[in-house]
Structure 1
Amino acid sequence: MSDSNTTDFTNPSTFILLGIPGLEAAHVWISIPFCIMYVIAIFGNFTILFTVKMELSLHEPMYYFLCMLAVTDLVVYTSTLPNMLAIFWFNSREINFSACLTQMYFAHCFLAMESGILVAMALDRYVAICHPLRHSTTLTNPMVAKIGLAVVLRGCIVILPFPLLARQWPYCRTNVIPQPYCLHIAVVNLACADTHVSSYYGLFVQFCLMGLDVIFIGVSYTQILRAIFSLPTKDARLKTFGTCGSHLFVILAFYLPGIIISLLNRFAQNVPLHFHVLIANVYLLLPPMLNPVIYGVRTKQIRDRLLRLFTHKRA
């Protein structure tokens, strides 16, 4: 392995992942919370999938979308965190060029899918609360399947140019990525060519795709909140708000770190690189861990099913 930061190559066979630059001595300690997050995410998301499968009363659109969310979270974790732990524990920093582009594609693709699923869940809550009599006839199983397929195809197609464009650029400056995994902008920044096409397309995905998702979710919840506050009693308002409270927490956990990253990149250039990298890791890894915890704690049907399952086993 060559540790040189300036080698003469146009198509590197490998990239070197630095982990968290400036905190290499603390990699083992940093790996502990990351490993705990990994265990919670894997166990929690598989628990959600098992619970929904076993409980017939949960075979509804909201829980089908929740299962899609769990699958996307599992893929995001599986495609990035094992590689990160290998860097932290074994200093295994090399990653094959094609493997790097594949990791990039899967990470961005499934993050785009997760954003689309959050939109679908907002649509489900909007119909359930604002038009409850139409819910069963509007969000039928075939319609849920079509929405899920649309979300998957949108993520796969929209993100596909990321690795295709990154593969065509010449890399003659360095093959060192100051991250613990391959992200689009981190790879493109290493190219020694005019990469404005990649940069502009990345901005298009961020602001047009994710931005439109945020706008749609915001409009949906504006209507939902209007419907909730128009209910006649306080108990009815609290009960109805409780049905979408979990989704609001998940939305904040997914989009808020991304907004913080955008603000840091534009207005906090003097912030140390390792802080930027840590925030990016939080954006990637925190939602998949929090989603099953939030839904498990706040969703009564899932909580009751788990309690019955553990009570039955003890009996």
Structure 2
Amino acid sequence: MMLQVLRDSNSSKLQVSDFILMGFPGIHEWQHWLSLPLALLYLLALSANILILITINQEATLHQPMYHFLGILAVVDMGLATTIMPKILAILWFNAKTIRLPECFAQMYVIHCFVGMESGIFFCMAIDRYVAICRPLRYPSIITDSFVVKATVFMVLRDSLLTIPVPVLAAQRHYCSSNQIEHCLCSNLGVTSLSCDDRMINSIYQLLLAWTLMGSDLGMIILSYALILHSVLRLNSAEAASKALSTCTSHLILILFFYTVVVVISITHSTTNTAPIFPVLLNVLHNVIPPALNPMVYALKNKELRHGMFKVLKLDIKSN
């Protein structure tokens, strides 16, 4: 339905029928060499997250809200990586640079949705850790399977609805000259930079969306961990404090990486003296490295999950 709306809104305004995704600016002649590491990252992201889902499904000890959120994160990660990587690899391997406008706007929409959902799931996981550490006696009654379902539905609806104006506004722009995008995916600002009319509304909504979704999520995550730290510091036992913090380590690593890269991408996009390849490369890596990194970080830091993965892989490995 959304594609049909985009087609209708474009029929009278757009003078170009497709965009050309040029790939990585400045290295067009040898950018195909990037296909191997990107393909390996994509395969790692798919295989690792599928392994996470199988492990959580098969191991009864992992049928807990914390692992349910991790499973949802795995699905979001696979969706995010799959939204961009097949087209990027097609560009690098087969020089398939053309993308129809409705497909471009649909990709723009899905990327924004999945990035927002990942941020939202990180927030839900922070709430889970806050209740587990600061309100342990109430944890079973607060963080239930019903809570997981409601939180997930809320995040999906929130991101799906608030993201709709991004491609719709982009479709309202008048693209009358160049159709070559110096990028390998349909980013909002990259596409609208080709428009012949004012794109101020696009930039303003992009900023508002970022602050509304990821800004609010990050603020609540910081508050949650501040309360967790305050609670842990009040524990009389150093061993208990260490155990409490260890349950948050993997989550904190993923959060720091996810939001740090978002900030760096924003800075490089707004800095005029930055080589154009850096924001493009960072944008691509931000959509494929977290999906590949998240399962490994959790597997390394979580003993129960690690044992479950070894059982699924039928590996007789002793891990501490």
Query: Same fold judged by TM-score > 0.5?
Result: yes
2:254–2:294 contact (8 Å) kept in structure 1: yes
Indicate the RMSD between aligned Cα atoms, in angstroms.
1.5
1:77–1:288 contact (8 Å) kept in structure 2: yes
Unaligned runs of 5+ in 1: 1-8
Question: Which of 296, 300, 304 is 2:303 aligned to?
Answer: 300
2:120–2:155 contact (8 Å) kept in structure 1: yes
- Shift of the alpha carbon at 1:312? 6.6
1:179–1:186 contact (8 Å) kept in structure 2: yes
1:110 aligns with 2:87: no
1:27–1:89 contact (8 Å) kept in structure 2: no
1:252 aligns with 2:259: no
Please give the per-residue CA displacement for 1:228-252, whole angstroms capped at 9, x wherever unaligned.
2222222222211111111001101
1:239 aligns with 2:243: yes
TM-score by length of 1: 0.93
1:23 aligns with 2:27: yes
Structure 1 residues 173 and 309: CA distance shift in structure 2, 3 A: same
Counterpart code for 2:288: L
1:170–1:191 contact (8 Å) kept in structure 2: yes
Question: Which of 262, 266, 270 is 2:273 aligned to?
Answer: 270
TM-score by length of 2: 0.92
Q: What residue is the counterpart of 1:188 in the other structure? A: 192
1:161 aligns with 2:133: no
Distance 2:35 2:310 in 1: 32
Which deviates the most, 274-283 or 82-91? Answer: 274-283
- Shift of the alpha carbon at 1:12? 2.2
Counterpart code for 2:83: S
2:299–2:305 contact (8 Å) kept in structure 1: yes
Q: What residue is the counterpart of 2:147 in the other structure? A: 143
Q: Identity across aligned pairs (percent)?
A: 39
2:268–2:278 contact (8 Å) kept in structure 1: no
Counterpart code for 1:231: L
- Shift of the alpha carbon at 1:176? 0.8
1:179–1:277 contact (8 Å) kept in structure 2: yes
Counterpart code for 1:310: L
Q: What residue is the counterpart of 1:33 in the other structure? A: 37
Which deviates the most, 231-240 or 131-140? Answer: 231-240
Question: Which of 219, 222, 231 is 1:218 aligned to?
Answer: 222
Please give the per-residue CA displacement for 1:139-183, whole angstroms capped at 9, x wherever unaligned.
111121111100000110011111111112110121111110111
1:109–1:156 contact (8 Å) kept in structure 2: yes
- Shift of the alpha carbon at 1:42? 0.2
Counterpart code for 2:300: V
Unaligned runs of 5+ in 2: 1-12
Number of matched residues? 305
Counterpart code for 2:52: I
- Secondary structure of the residue aligned to 1:16 is strand
